[in-house]
Amino acid sequence: MPDLTEQSASLFDRASAVTPGGVNSPVRAFRAVGGVPRFMASGDGCHITDVDGNTYVDLVCSWGPMLLGHAHPEVTAAVQEAVSRGTSYGTPTRPEVELGEEIVSRTPVDKVRLVSSGTEATMSALRLARGATGRAKIVKFAGCYHGHVDALLAQAGSGVITLGIPGTPGVTEATTADTIVLPYNDQAAVTAAFAQYGDQIAAVITEASPGNMGVVPPLDNFNAFLAKTCKDNGALFISDEVMTGFRITKSGWYGVDGVVPDLMTFGKVMGGGFPAAAFGGRADLMSHLAPEGSVYQAGTLSGNPIATTAGLTTLRLATDEVYARLDETSATIRQLVTTALSKEGVPHHIQNAGNLFSVFFVESSEGAVTSAGPIRDFAGAGAQVLPRFAAFFHAMLDAGVYLPPSAFEAWFVSAAIDDDALAQLETALASAARAAAAVEN
């Protein structure tokens, strides 16, 4: 038997010598599932191929951006043409104007500012919210991830309304002292927080539909409730659509619930596989930003012409037909997963927000496939049989399907997934479900 991970293992050793943990972003390291992370060498459509020559059906899609699949011919051609004219000038360029126009036309924001990562987008949106309101406190929800912004790397303390405690060494108590962490989907907790701190709260930030604790959609018009509560208290409502934007619908989760936020953040799909992200909102709020206003925000590579060309080309290709296809593919995969797991008696829940979904390996399942299932918050998402996911993940990998290497992540589909890939997925799921069933609870 050839060693199918020889080259990946060798690169991982070399990477570990020069990079902490051998990776440039922690979840890539396979710590949650064990084993050697695969080093990818190429991608084509719905497939990625590693340095040992193993090809996988890709259900990570670079954690969201690759909506159209890998190396889409038109995106590749547009990027190559742009690169041939130079890669960065530090001046305004046409594609960033056109990308800004495309975002404004798809979403409720009046104006956008382009940045290079989702982290920068949420960090800048918070600064703008604080600058515009003159208030300090921020409300966030446990289990929502907004990038590695210091003030947002806060964990909830033991009470329902608690000021955040630093979620990682290196973030000081002073930095999270103005962050209030609440349980997700809990309107009473929000009401209580505003009763206590209402005139000090600059903004509530939430994932439009959370995908970073697994997919846990907002229940009972939670976003509309947040928007109204903010409005009534002079605070701003920030909807983080970095993951959901331009993926779930042409706009994002906004296309599902129609709640108009004061500020929004975007990333992932809008960069077409390059580092591009944005934050935007009402014109009067955005006018607080330098050089129009006094809230400072900047970036050497912001609106980079290659990244904006890739993003613009991707968005222009992401038509209604593409979103219909993504929805259909996602529904088919969800059905294949639940059929395979049910056949082997593996308890699970599958929750989805449009085409974004995740599989929770819970202790028992009732009504296994529901869009707004029983997992409503971070505590619920945590109650999973993690060794079962690890066995499932590795069996899928061995059968040529690349899943997110953590039980707390969304699965991402691309429009490039075809019938052959679905057939491969069905075969892989049969063996993976058996592997999961073999794990004792």
Query: Which amino acids are annotated catalytic?
Result: 145, 240, 268
Distance in angstroms (rounded) separating the CA atoms of residues 286 and 208 = 20
Cβ proximity to ligand PLP: between 133 and 212 the closer is 212
Q: Which position has the token pair 């075969």?
A: 427
Closest distance to ligand PLP from the beta carbon of 302 (Å): 13
Any residues with CB less than 8 A from the CB of 18 and at least 6 apart, and which?
A: none
Q: Which is nearer to ligand PLP, 129 or 341 (CB)?
A: 129
Please report, for residues 32, 38, 53, 186, the alpha-carbon distance to residue 6 in angstroms, rounded to integers and kept in the order given: 21, 10, 10, 48
Residue pair 292/85 in contact by the 8 Å Cβ criterion: no
Separation between Cα atoms, residue 370 and residue 307, nearest integer Å? 37
**149 and 126 in contact (C-beta within 8 Å)?**
yes
Output 194 or 266, the one with its CB closest to ligand PLP.
266
Q: Could you tell me which residues come within 8 angstroms of residue 142 by beta carbon, excluding any fewer than 6 positions away?
A: 155, 156, 181, 182, 183, 184, 377, 378, 379
**Cα R_g (the chain), whole angstroms:** 21
* Intra-chain end-to-end CA distance of the chain, in Å: 32
The distance of closest approach from Cβ of residue 408 to ligand PLP in the complex, given in angstroms and rounded to an integer, is: 12
Q: Structure tokens of 58? A: 């890709």
The residue nearest ligand PLP at its CB is 118
Is 244 or 365 the residue whose CB approaches ligand PLP more closely? Answer: 244
In sequence order, what are the residues at sequence separation of 6 or more whose Cβ sits closer than 8 angstroms to the Cβ of residue 377? 141, 142, 143, 183, 184, 185, 186, 213, 216
State in angstroms the smallest separation of the CB of 121 from ligand PLP: 7
Closer residue to ligand PLP (CB): 48 or 269: 269
CB 120, min distance to ligand PLP, A: 7
Residue whose C-alpha is closest to residue 10's, from 29, 37, 48, 32: 37
With respect to ligand PLP, which residue has the nearer C-beta, 119 or 338?
Answer: 119
Minimum CB separation of residue 274 from ligand PLP in Å reads 11
Q: Which long-range contacts (CB under 8 A, 24 or more apart) does 176-180 make?
A: 176/150, 176/151, 178/136, 178/137, 178/138, 178/151, 179/137, 179/138, 179/139, 179/140, 179/151, 179/152, 179/154, 180/137, 180/138, 180/139, 180/140
Closest CB to ligand PLP among residues 277, 340 = 277
Interface residue list for ligand PLP (CB under 6 A): 63, 117-119, 122, 145-147, 207, 212, 240, 242-243, 267, 277
The CB-of-140 to ligand PLP minimum distance in angstroms stands at 11
In angstroms, give the least distance from the CB of 358 to ligand PLP.
Answer: 13
Q: Which two tokens stand for residue 360?
A: 């929770």
> Please, what is the minimum distance in Å from the beta carbon of residue 26 to ligand PLP?
11
User: Per-residue DSSP letters for 373-410?
Assistant: -S--SHHHHH-S-HHHHHHHHHHHHHTTEE--SSTTS-
In this structure, the strands spanning 179-182 and 162-163 are antiparallel
The distance from CA 363 to its chain's CA centroid, rounded to whole angstroms, is 26
User: Nearer to ligand PLP by C-beta: 122 or 338?
Assistant: 122
